[in-house]
Structure 1
Amino acid sequence: MNLNSHLVQRMLRLPPPLTRELTVDRDLRVPMRDGAVLLADRWTPKSGGDGLPTALLRIPYGRAGTTAGPMVRPLAERGFQVLIQSTRGTFGSDGPFDPLRREREDGLDTLEWVIKQPWFGESMILVGMSYLGFVQWAVADAVPPQVKAMIPAVSESALTLEFLRADGFSLETPFGWGVQVAGQERPFAMPRQMLGGKKLQRALHTLPLNQADTAAMGHRSDYIQNILAHDAGTPFWQGLDHRHRVADITVPVSTVGGWYDIFLPGQLRDYRTLQDAGRSPIRLTVGPWAHISMGVGQTAAAEALDFGLALARGEEPAERAPVRLFVMGEEQWRDFPSWPPPGYEPQRFHLQPGGALSAEAPAGSPSDGYRYDPADPTPALGGVRMAFGVKSGRVDNTSLEARPDVLTYTTPVLDEDVEVIGEVSAEIFFRSSLPYADVFVRLCDVDPRGRSTNICDGLTSLTGADETSMAEVRMWPTAYRFKRGHRIRVQVSSGAFPRYNRNPGTGEPRATATTLRAADQQVFHDPQHPSAVILPVRRNRPA
């Protein structure tokens, strides 16, 4: 094991290995029902590997190197034999790589092959993050009885569809991912991606957007062209949506997520579906993480060894509450019986004149206004982002709130803690000078020094925005304690570029839009238009 692997394992904070002596059988050929062959590597202890529980990872990013190695070795050294397979069309596996489309059929064929192998024992688990989690959701309702647990992290059963909402197209993440996988098998792919971060960010300003892939990497990408051309609700993406299968999953599930991960809303939806169906055991762990934070990998590996390995051995996992959440602001882990937790009720915090925010109903007042110019779009700052060289999660919002195209509304100093855990939303009464506009809302914590830190946010796109209407903004769920002496703040603007695509104001299709029109926006807060953010607040005063 090289020095880098030692470092990764120390960072994962896992229990000591049972062995450091491993062997790898490479390029095992796994046949699919249509004749394609997918390649896999099997990692085992040098002695006694046959018959151990199997951990299966199906990955599009290669079976070796800095992506796969840190996921495989820790498990193979601590009680598993590990099979890591390259998905169709990647790293030697047959077929074209058509992201996400063949994972149900190929996954089920792989499971059938594994349980027939002479080295297979009596049990296996499914494990992995992001795409490696999606491939679990795609098959989980139909796995053989030998599958004893699944551990999907920062993932959900309809993976791509969160990007492609017609009411809020997330541009940066799928575009960056499309560029990544298009060049991932070239020499020095990882350094190229890291060094190419600024070039990618520049490419996102390209008009029309259907030329941005060429600007970023010199050629077109079918995946990028498809995400630009097809919204989530179109038949084109139907085969990627496995939400309807989740209620039929009976295998135990431990799912790991982050408060600043793009897939969190769908992940919590999937967990709640299992919860409502009465499935057990199931676990949910959500930390203060973005998509690629080290804490995600650390916790997923720990769950594979605690929850997954115990079940694979026919034992009971260590007892813990079904839901474990990191409560930001308090900066502590807390256990709960369910998601969303009991004891929290929606409370409206109304936008008020003069930039105030309070639980009181708004009095009569004129609207607030700002000018949004897509040629100088309101930037994304921290939050839900997963691009190379871009800071995600909690950041100082001072520079963002100083912009003239961002409104802020802030409570007085809190005289007691306010704890918020659950689903967050906003209702903003809004009018634009153009029929097409976006409304972006962000919740922040302002500390006694005046530093504003983002907690959660969301965006919705409007049609008919030149008529006064209520924009319903679904924001990211959160767990946060606003401390006594702090203030609660809400930002309202019309963009967070390039996390979300900038709204050109013309209604043109996003792939081919070339004209950018500035708009004058109005936000209303009066008795007839009670704009508010709705927070799930703990009923009793926190201890």
Structure 2
Amino acid sequence: MKLSSHIMQRVLRLPPPLTRDLTIEQDRRVPMRDGAVLLADRWTPKRGGDGLPTALIRVPYGRAGLVGGQMARPLAERGFQVLVQSTRGTFGSDGPWDPLRREREDGLDTIDWVIKQPWFGESMILFGPSYLGFVQWAVADSLPPQVKAMIPVVTESALTLEFLRSDGFSLETPFGWAVQVAGQERRLGMPRAMLGAKKVQRALRTLPLNKADTVAIGNRYDYVQDILDHDADDPFWQGLDHRHRVADVQVPVSSIAGWHDIFLPGQLRDFRVLQEAGRTARLTVGPWAHNSIGVGHAAFPEALDFGLTLAKGREPAERPPVRLFVMGEEKWRDFPSWPPPGYEPRRFHLQPRGTLSPEQPAVAPPDNYRYDPADPTPAVGGVRMVFGEKNGRVDNTELEARRDVLTYTTEVLDKDVEVIGEVSAEIFFRSSLPYADVFVRLCDVDADGRSTNVCDGLTSLTGANQVTRATVGLWPTAYRFRRGHRIRVQVSSGAFPRFNRNPGTGEPRGSATQLRTAEQQVLHGPEHPSAIVLPVG
């Protein structure tokens, strides 16, 4: 155990612990209002643990192994006692397991139970990434005064809903997560999930998609069927949407996010709501994807420097509210808000012969390509959370060589161009079919001609067989395009399997069985001023 302590200290770049001698009280029984009992483990120093500030971590992935060793131990060695609780229906806690739905009632009941324990001191913080952060937002507007801080990491207050937009269904992440949790309590469940990643990728090509869960795990799985049957605005999801709670949060919040994280848009939305409501909040965004080790490098020091300091009744060290890693410049910078002031929207127009320019668009015929959902344009790097697949910034050379990807590139820049904020595109588009997708990706082309992705997004169209102005929201970013580089925009009709391939038929996504090839047109010119809109400072 002490060896793992040294390893985690090095991996997470943490200061030396106050102690490495810990006690783990396993299977503490925490009663819920409906009579269910959820199990929890309490991690404390062997001496002097009672009365320390409590870090509460509520998790559906088990309390031992990675969660205990990588999350509870580093905090319990450095000034906290840590309670790690298995959420309802997982790892010994009474069920059933109904993802995301019972976290408000169970979270409030757990906090109430902790405060009444004889070992509880005077303060508590809420901590954790992803699902472990979502459970914080589920209770955020009703916290007792003993809770002194929230530290939600790569997460947001409406966790699943970004994936289920009717105008852009993100398939890979919710399906992959469902397969992971469906088998996680089997022997060697997590290693099996990692080894089975290729099987999951193959399953995503299943037609109809509502059979893909059976292909991947051998049986139907309710969460998979739910995400196929219900769009984000369906009342079915109402109980797991906690966006309305954010403005009423009274405790200080420090959010850790990543430029290539699956939850970034929602996390920035939550932070902006906090700022506009006048709450105490700060934000850190690094060059990370969801599972990047850099997330831990930022999150655990924040638990100590921000969370533990507040739990002890002191104020954290002063810093500006927003700290961003500006990619391209490769430096951390501080700002007063998100989005930062001083960055104004600037249109870069698609031009003839694959060029891109802030000048008014010139007259030109449309550009054409064929999209075949049987050979879908692949997802390459970027916003992904898949074992064995690259994410974040990668070489786009092979992708841009495909015939179903158009590119538009500026002249060589004679000075740096800094882009920080929300990115969007307006693409005038026409398809041979009524149903089509438009995917737009912003790239940086270096002096050697290597194209690297910065951010991207997709929107789905109905009535695409008429000229349509497709408004595409890309992931927000902070990026400096260096002098001597070029700015590039890709336009295509997919990024599979990050986004579901559009079959072109208008059939429901779960039951579609036919795939139709489409002839696509991107229009640009004075009457159809297709452009990417960049916040330039």
1:218, 1:428 → 2: CA distance? 41
Is this contact kept in 2: 1:61–1:68, CA < 8 A?
Answer: no
Q: Give the secondary-structure state (helix, strand or coil) at the position aligned to 1:453.
A: strand
Matched, 1:172 2:172: yes
Is this contact kept in 2: 1:380–1:498, CA < 8 A?
Answer: yes
Structure 1 residue 2: deviation in Å? 5.0
Structure 1 residue 85: deviation in Å? 0.2
Q: Give the secondary-structure state (helix, strand or coil) at the position aligned to 1:159.
A: coil
2:290, 2:485 → 1: CA distance? 28
Matched, 1:158 2:162: no
Q: Give the secondary-structure state (helix, strand or coil) at the position aligned to 1:274.
A: helix
Is this contact kept in 2: 1:63–1:69, CA < 8 A?
Answer: no
Find the counterpart in structure 2 of residue 541 from structure 1: none
Is this contact kept in 1: 2:197–2:386, CA < 8 A?
Answer: yes
Find the counterpart in structure 2 of residue 456 from structure 1: 455
Change (3 A) 1:94 1:300: same
Structure 1 residue 297: deviation in Å? 1.6
2:215, 2:62 → 1: CA distance? 26
Find the counterpart in structure 1 of residue 325 from structure 2: 326
CA deviation profile, 1:166-197 (whole Å, cap 9, x unmatched):
00000000000000000000011121111111
Is this contact kept in 1: 2:9–2:15, CA < 8 A?
Answer: no
Q: Give the secondary-structure state (helix, strand or coil) at the position aligned to 2:168.
A: coil
Structure 1 residue 71: deviation in Å? 0.7
Q: How does 1:180-219 map to 2 (within 5 A)?
A: 180-219=180-219
Q: How does 1:111-122 map to 2 (within 5 A)?
A: 111-122=111-122
2:514, 2:294 → 1: CA distance? 42
Q: Give the secondary-structure state (helix, strand or coil) at the position aligned to 1:223.
A: helix
CA deviation profile, 1:400-431 (whole Å, cap 9, x unmatched):
00000000000000000000000000000000
Structure 1 residue 435: deviation in Å? 0.2
2:68, 2:174 → 1: CA distance? 21
Specify the code of the residue in structure 2 equivalent to 1:274.
Answer: L
Q: Give the secondary-structure state (helix, strand or coil) at the position aligned to 1:268.
A: helix
Change (3 A) 1:142 1:510: same
Specify the code of the residue in structure 2 equivalent to 1:83.
Answer: L
Runs of 4+ in 1 over 3 A off after TM superposition: 2-5
Is this contact kept in 1: 2:256–2:283, CA < 8 A?
Answer: yes
Q: How does 1:308-457 map to 2 (within 5 A)?
A: 308-457=307-456
Find the counterpart in structure 2 of residue 468 from structure 1: 467
Matched, 1:223 2:217: no
CA deviation profile, 1:41-61 (whole Å, cap 9, x unmatched):
000000100000000000000
Q: Give the secondary-structure state (helix, strand or coil) at the position aligned to 1:19.
A: coil
With normalisation by structure 2, the TM-score equals: 0.99
Structure 1 residue 364: deviation in Å? 1.1
Structure 1 residue 298: deviation in Å? 1.9
2:175, 2:2 → 1: CA distance? 33
CA deviation profile, 1:489-532 (whole Å, cap 9, x unmatched):
00000000000000000000000000000000000111010000
1:313, 1:195 → 2: CA distance? 44
2:258, 2:338 → 1: CA distance? 14
2:382, 2:68 → 1: CA distance? 26
Is this contact kept in 2: 1:9–1:70, CA < 8 A?
Answer: no
1:302, 1:64 → 2: CA distance? 22
2:263, 2:66 → 1: CA distance? 23
CA deviation profile, 1:116-158 (whole Å, cap 9, x unmatched):
0000000000000000000001101101000000000000000
Specify the code of the residue in structure 2 equivalent to 1:267.
Answer: Q
CA deviation profile, 1:81-133 (whole Å, cap 9, x unmatched):
00000000000000111000000000000010000000000000000000000
Is this contact kept in 2: 1:326–1:334, CA < 8 A?
Answer: yes
Specify the code of the residue in structure 2 equivalent to 1:33.
Answer: R
With normalisation by structure 1, the TM-score equals: 0.98
Find the counterpart in structure 2 of residue 238 from structure 1: 238
| Alpha-carbon RMSD | 0.7
1:531, 1:169 → 2: CA distance? 23
Matched, 1:22 2:22: yes
CA deviation profile, 1:197-247 (whole Å, cap 9, x unmatched):
111111100000000011111111111111111100101101110101111
Find the counterpart in structure 2 of residue 94 from structure 1: 94
Specify the code of the residue in structure 1 equivalent to 2:206.
Answer: T
Change (3 A) 1:5 1:219: farther
Specify the code of the residue in structure 2 equivalent to 1:394.
Answer: R
Structure 1 residue 375: deviation in Å? 0.3
Structure 1 residue 79: deviation in Å? 0.3
Is this contact kept in 2: 1:130–1:154, CA < 8 A?
Answer: yes
Q: Give the secondary-structure state (helix, strand or coil) at the position aligned to 2:84.
A: strand
2:392, 2:99 → 1: CA distance? 27
Structure 1 residue 67: deviation in Å? 3.4
Is this contact kept in 2: 1:126–1:147, CA < 8 A?
Answer: yes
Q: Give the secondary-structure state (helix, strand or coil) at the position aligned to 2:169.
A: coil
1:2, 1:191 → 2: CA distance? 24
Percent of matched pairs sharing the same residue:
80
**Count of residue pairs brought into register by the alignment:** 537
CA deviation profile, 1:463-487 (whole Å, cap 9, x unmatched):
0000101000000000000000000
Q: Give the secondary-structure state (helix, strand or coil) at the position aligned to 2:458.
A: strand
Is this contact kept in 2: 1:58–1:135, CA < 8 A?
Answer: yes
Is this contact kept in 1: 2:172–2:204, CA < 8 A?
Answer: yes
Find the counterpart in structure 2 of residue 301 from structure 1: 300
Structure 1 residue 250: deviation in Å? 1.1
Is this contact kept in 1: 2:2–2:20, CA < 8 A?
Answer: no
Specify the code of the residue in structure 2 equivalent to 1:139.
Answer: V
Structure 1's unaligned 5+ residue stretches are: 539-543
Q: Give the secondary-structure state (helix, strand or coil) at the position aligned to 2:47.
A: coil
1:155, 1:191 → 2: CA distance? 24
Q: Give the secondary-structure state (helix, strand or coil) at the position aligned to 1:262.
A: coil
Find the counterpart in structure 2 of residue 61 from structure 1: 61
2:129, 2:141 → 1: CA distance? 19
2:27, 2:381 → 1: CA distance? 41
CA deviation profile, 1:266-325 (whole Å, cap 9, x unmatched):
000000000001112x11000000001011122111100000000000001011111000
Q: Give the secondary-structure state (helix, strand or coil) at the position aligned to 2:507.
A: coil
Find the counterpart in structure 1 of residue 509 from structure 2: 510
2:505, 2:39 → 1: CA distance? 48
Structure 1 residue 6: deviation in Å? 2.4
Structure 1 residue 3: deviation in Å? 3.4
Find the counterpart in structure 2 of residue 10 from structure 1: 10
Structure 2's unaligned 5+ residue stretches are: none
